[in-house]
Each structure stands twice: as structure tokens, then as C-alpha cells.
Structure 1
């Protein structure tokens, strides 16, 4: 009989544990600033409906780019130079590498091709323009966001596999610093 009581308590404890973990995912229980990882599912990508003016001011309204499937990445790359500058203790040449200049990494976005989507229509205008367009990436649940100016350097239809939908592939090159705002 004592054993049955112990099993009941163990089952109750286990049930409470499971319920508490099912109610709120563990990563959501932390304040956003304390989270080490940000989910990207549900992120929204926006483009301004007008390019920036000569001073870089944003004058247009934000328009969501629909059917976003892949967001690519934002970052920087360094051009490097290498030279044999010394020998090691065995008399073998040692190659040293130095950073020369920094440039923005291209951001490739993949979309489901929707010619009626207002954001995709603006992307087509932007690829034909030599002007910078503002972009904004908003992460879900009032998470952080990113804003930057970019040149849309390529835009084309990607046919992928024979049993998939037609995609639209755009390459953006950020031209100014990426503004990172963390969650409130």
C-alpha cells in the first residue's frame, strides 16, 4: 500500500512537470535580452516603396515582401593578402595573412514567385535602379530587427525541381552599416 502511494506521488510530480513545460516553451520564459538564440521562423522582410534620397533619408513606407522562403545572411567579408615573410626554426617559409579591405557579404533571399505581391513588385523596380533601397527584417515575437540600405544587384526566376513552385531569387548588397536593434 505504501508503494502505491509513492507511485501516485511520482505520477503527480511527473504530470506537473510535463504540464509546466508544455504551457510556455523554455526559451520564451527567458527575457528576450537573455536569450542566446533568436528564432527566425515567422520573420518578416520589408522594403521601402521608395529609394533613399541623396542624404540617405528614408522617405517611403515599409512594404512587406511576401512569400519569403529563405532570408540568407547579413555580414562582412575581408579581402586578404598573403605573403611569405619569414622562416620558421626549421628554415621553412611561413605565410602571413593580413586583412586589406572590408566589404558587405551579399544577402540572397528566396521567395515564392508572386507577380501580384507589392513587395516583389518593388524588388523588380529596385533591381532596375542604381539607387539604394531601405530594407528591414523583423524577427518574431517583438524580437530584434535589422535595418540597412542595399543595392538589389540581381533578381531572377529560379525553377528548382520539376515538382516545385517557381521561385524568385534576389541578391542584395548592403551599402551602409546594418542597424541592429535588440528586443525591448
Structure 2
């Protein structure tokens, strides 16, 4: 199988580490090899956090970093970082799943970047002949659960053969702290069922 590349980005404190770990463990449980690398830009102070995940056969994966323009899936935990992922990493025909929240990264607050509208994000995806899935839960119990909502939406797709929603759900429950399991499961199921 050709590698399947997932580019994940957001702002520090949004739970990108948990999201990436659930996806890694889910892919391993489905029988795939996974290479991954994280970068943190002052994550604890609202900086950008990025994860590169490459899924496939062990003999076909050589580096954990995704080449620009080669990501099959862009996962964004806020709109600007999703947009940047699309512009820099999305392949032609790729997919973007993002949580539609404005958690402005530090470079926006400093006036170094403009915040894109939903329409600008959709236009960037259309230019790449891709698909976009917007995730938003009006009554989300805790903003720290946006990552779980995005996982739920990801689980409604079969990104690669054998990587089912059930496997992702099992890994989420395995990795979630015991105090958050029930709430995470509820948000996961709600987002999975709400697929456009």
C-alpha cells in the first residue's frame, strides 16, 4: 500500500498529542506501521503544535515527515491552522477535517497573520479538488474536547482499509484518562453521527 499521510495542527493546549496518539495506536491495532513526528512552537503559550503521521507498510515508510503537498488528510483543531495545513501540505484530492473554532494562535494576536473565514478555507480545499468536513458541536461540554469531536468525525470515514471507527473508539477509551472516558465517548459518538 502507498503511505497515507495525516498532517495535524492546532494551538498548544488543544490535545493534539492525545489525538495523534489515538490515531497511531488505532493504525497499529489495524495492522499498519506508523511513523510520526511532532513539532511544538511554544505550545504552552498558544504556539503552533504540528504532528506528521505516515501510515503504511513498514518497508515503504522511510521518514516521519510529510513532504509539502503530499498530505492525504489535514486535521485542524482550529481554522487558521487547518487553512495553513491545506495551503502547505494538502495533496490534490485530499481531505480536510477541522474543528471550526477561533483559538487564535499567537502570530494572529500579534498581527502577523490574518484569520481566514470558513469560505476562504473551503476555497483553498476546492482549488486542490479536495473535500472538507467542518466539525462544530454547539453544546460541547469542554473546549478541551474539540480533539475528541474531530476524532469522532475521522472515525466516520475508513481512511485506510481496516481502520474502522470501532478501532478508533476502542483506542480513545484505552488512552483517555478514566475521569474523561464517559464524556469523551459521548462527544466522539455525537461527532461521528453528525457527518455531513
TM class, shorter-chain normalised? under 0.3
Q: Determine which structure has more spread, i.e. the larger CA radius of gyration.
A: 1
More helix by share: 2
More strand by share: 1
TM-score, normalised via structure 2 length? 0.19
TM-score, normalised via structure 1 length? 0.20
